[in-house]
Structure 1
């Protein structure tokens, strides 16, 4: 009798791929998790309970068909697993690496709720697509028929690239405009290599370019080309710029040298990883080597900064966060990785000011959690007389991002925005107030997850395709 391949969660314990020891991984920018072997991936996938209501799938923004591709992996049908995974997710190998699975699919796994430990969904997802690339199952983009319609996409981040992929597969002519010299957006310049090695992103960039997507890089809309020119050159436009404006710090000394933005710091580090010469890194301005580093913030960007600082050879790395560990917005897995690598978390602490013309200290005020606000989160309250100074040669602001004022930057007052400055768009079609103009990702949601940007980009692409089909149908009817 053949052995049952699934429902092994009672007899098989949860295992993640091997993780490199902290003293080995904290000196380089390679990914910290090893790859599953085929047998181990099948074993871990076989722990899935194949439940009737798959909460992992419903809590995934892309609604990936997780139970089915786990089943395919467990039963040795790996190519089918890849094909199922690729149907709903443009970049499963990226999501498998950087999605906060502990807050999404794995955090809602039924067997986790029963105390058996969640299925290692993210690690299996990564393994499936990495194997697909190695085996040549990832096919080039070759539309069955070319179409005349063209789309201009502003922003080569995950939302824009997901839309470009879908549109090109349908034969649409696609041009992507981006301010950076490489595509990928935050996947390339915002997320460190120890979470997402850059060759993974560049493989997808190569696939898109080989498939006929045109990239206009080093192109800042509003400076190098006007928005109206892009709109005039295409049948539809997708705005997928993301949000890059850093929330600022207030207080005495906040303008001192040595207080830098997280996006600048991470971009410099990633450029150095590509082999670029970065003047601000060479000068030490954006380099943590030999410094006492304080990172202010509690999200995943803050975790990227503290772990980067460790790898650059900082003397000490501390993270200030105004709430406690349980209320931290960043992934708990990332917090644990940072602690293993030597980062010290200073909970219930916030900056009051800074000392030194070139910063040499952070004046820290201690907090306590008070009553919940309208969102249900406890509000941090200042503890009077608790101030002290934390030594710091480099302070990194990782307080989150806000949208740039695109209507003003682009001279397009008709482009409606919300009271938060994000672009106002239909939540189904992603259509904006301007005809033929769509928006997706963080520029609509505010700072969010890569997986949500991928979903938005795919939905916007589908809405454009329906628009083109409707127009073609109307033209045929008129004839």
Structure 2
């Protein structure tokens, strides 16, 4: 049934129903139930169809949000999917894991006017899941095959988005990843309760069916030299992300029982995928767990520990709730599931002889703003207290690995932060070698990696087309009937 828009005057905002906290604590399935079609259409009809769509402006991908909300509300679901997919390589993923409360929904005019923002993320997920169910999502079929090839290092969101965009033009694309599965942090860093692994595997299968060659378990610089990689391809894209964890900087930081967040999450996700022979030290079952940090990775860790059956789970963060970098929605989910937040507190030292037994913390207060504009946390003298802990997880962010050393290519220039230096075309210091995603901008959001991957694909296309080539090597390919 087609609906009129601007229904925010009579309809309140509504998210899909969540599974009860007691139920979802016991598994790694996504916490939200499917949006009922009628309710999703009702929510889409709340859109004000603004003359200046701040939701679209605040979306890194510039998604045509008001357009596909209108199409969804009026029952034109296939068109809604095509509109969503025109600017986003993986709308089914962004609909699940984007921090919409900080991006599109948080800047919806209705949110600012206190009517409550449109539930954009849930509708995006509903549109894409409908498209998959109806068979509207098909492998990429380029209009013609090109002889030129592109090698992509990194099978995460940036690399896969670039692969999809380049393959759509007709390039021969090969993606190399050091892990045994494609997806990068989508597979190994983000827990299933936010993004079930079948969703990522479904998309990588489509890429393979569309002609993208996926080479897992291959590390550049170890299994294949960077020089050989460049020799194989007309252009190379580095989209490795950032994986090196920032460690604790306090006394006792080397005790057994202290783990980096990503090591912990990778182990948990491998268990969720059915892998065996995993390190039991990274299982929180029966343990008192303290997670240090306030970002989305910290939220993933505390909620994972709950599902593993931890005795207690506490999140230690040096600022207050309003000033934490993580999604407020994720904090609310964690509290529902039994996580205790210890705000305005920071670790002073980790206690224990050989293995951690407690975290000694001190209370903080917020002082004057620093260079970033955020108020600086300062220690309150004499405010120390201890938190019992059998397991401490450090979720303090990520830094780039030394890519030039890993690849054996010292001519790759880096910034003082260790990220790769690129020009306005996203090309590195080496001709024909491009970089995109976190390895350029530092640890960031999946949606930014997707945007960077798509931008890099356009830059690579321009670069290759500007080079002299034998056009007779290109051949026209007739589309299969199913794709016509």
TM-score, scaled to structure 2: 0.96
- Determine the structure 1 residue equivalent to 2:173: 174
Deviations 1:405-445 (A, max 9, x none): 1112222121111111101112x421111100100000001
1:256 aligns with 2:255: yes
Deviations 1:277-328 (A, max 9, x none): 0330xx3x00000000000000000000000000000000000011111110
- Determine the structure 2 residue equivalent to 1:432: 428
1:310 aligns with 2:306: yes
2:2 touches 2:75 (CA, 8 Å); kept in 1?
no
1:9 touches 1:49 (CA, 8 Å); kept in 2?
yes
- Determine the structure 1 residue equivalent to 2:391: 394
- Determine the structure 2 residue equivalent to 1:223: 222
Deviations 1:47-74 (A, max 9, x none): 0000100000010000000000000000
1:60 aligns with 2:80: no
* Counterparts of 1:366 and 1:278, CA distance in 2: 40
- Determine the structure 2 residue equivalent to 1:90: 89
Superposition pairs of residues 170-249 of structure 1, within 5 angstroms: 170-249=169-248
Quick one: which of 295, 298, 323 aligns to 1:299? 295
- Determine the structure 2 residue equivalent to 1:160: 159
Quick one: which of 367, 375, 378 aligns to 1:378? 375
- Determine the structure 2 residue equivalent to 1:462: 458
SS in 2 for 1:9: helix
- Determine the structure 2 residue equivalent to 1:409: 406
Deviations 1:164-184 (A, max 9, x none): 001111110111110100000
Deviations 1:367-388 (A, max 9, x none): 1111101111000111111112
* Counterparts of 1:150 and 1:45, CA distance in 2: 41
* Counterparts of 1:424 and 1:467, CA distance in 2: 18
* Counterparts of 1:15 and 1:286, CA distance in 2: 37
Quick one: which of 328, 335, 359 aligns to 1:332? 328
TM-score, scaled to structure 1: 0.96
The runs of 5 or more residues in structure 1 that have no matched partner are none
* Counterparts of 2:278 and 2:284, CA distance in 1: 14
CA drift of 1:467 comes to 1.7
1:419 aligns with 2:446: no
- Determine the structure 1 residue equivalent to 2:477: none
1:61 touches 1:451 (CA, 8 Å); kept in 2?
yes
* Counterparts of 1:279 and 1:227, CA distance in 2: 31
- Determine the structure 2 residue equivalent to 1:102: 101
1:42 aligns with 2:41: yes
1:157 touches 1:187 (CA, 8 Å); kept in 2?
yes
2:271 touches 2:278 (CA, 8 Å); kept in 1?
no
SS in 2 for 1:369: strand
CA drift of 1:29 comes to 0.4
* Counterparts of 2:414 and 2:376, CA distance in 1: 28
Runs of 4+ in structure 1 deviating by more than 4 angstroms, as ranges, are: 472-476
* Counterparts of 1:4 and 1:145, CA distance in 2: 40
SS in 2 for 1:454: helix
SS in 2 for 1:389: strand
- Determine the structure 1 residue equivalent to 2:115: 116
1:354 touches 1:363 (CA, 8 Å); kept in 2?
yes
1:271 touches 1:278 (CA, 8 Å); kept in 2?
no
- How many residues in Structure 1 have an aligned counterpart in Structure 2? 471
* Counterparts of 1:425 and 1:294, CA distance in 2: 39
1:301 touches 1:398 (CA, 8 Å); kept in 2?
yes
* Counterparts of 1:251 and 1:7, CA distance in 2: 54
* Counterparts of 2:343 and 2:156, CA distance in 1: 32
- Determine the structure 2 residue equivalent to 1:350: 346
SS in 2 for 1:187: helix
1:268 touches 1:278 (CA, 8 Å); kept in 2?
no
SS in 1 for 2:289: strand
- Determine the structure 2 residue equivalent to 1:138: 137
1:322 aligns with 2:318: yes
CA drift of 1:144 comes to 2.0
The runs of 5 or more residues in structure 2 that have no matched partner are 473-484
CA drift of 1:250 comes to 1.8
